[in-house]
Amino acid sequence: MTDQERIAVEGRVKNALQQIRPYLQQDGGDVEYVDITNQGVVMVRLTGHCGSCPHALQTLKQGIETAIKRVIPEVKSVERV
């Protein structure tokens, strides 16, 4: 992915995360965008209850990653930092 493509995808990822955040916040959690690699891996930080929840990996993969990949096919995966 070129730098220009990366910047465009980054904006779309941030927008997608804004759509997801209210659902996480209802349960006392949240998600923060950290970075995206040139390989299409989005790095996020889970905070609040999501940061220490035993179901955080499930939320990350089945919730956040699925929602982002549905609207942004350039994203290969979403990983937690």
* 3 state SS of 75: coil
For the whole model, what pTM was predicted?
Answer: 0.91
Tokens 């209210």 belong to which residue? 22
46, with CB counted inside 10 A (0-12, 13-18, 19+), is buried
Domain boundaries of the chain, sorted by first residue: 3-80
The CA distance from 30 to 32, in Å, is 7
pLDDT tens digits along 11-57: 999 999 999 999 999 989 999 999 999 899 999 999 998 888 888 89
Residue (of 56, 54, 60) closest to 78 by Cα position: 60
What superfamily does domain 3-80 belong to in CATH? Fe-S cluster assembly (FSCA) (3.30.300.130)
- Amino acid, res. 12: R
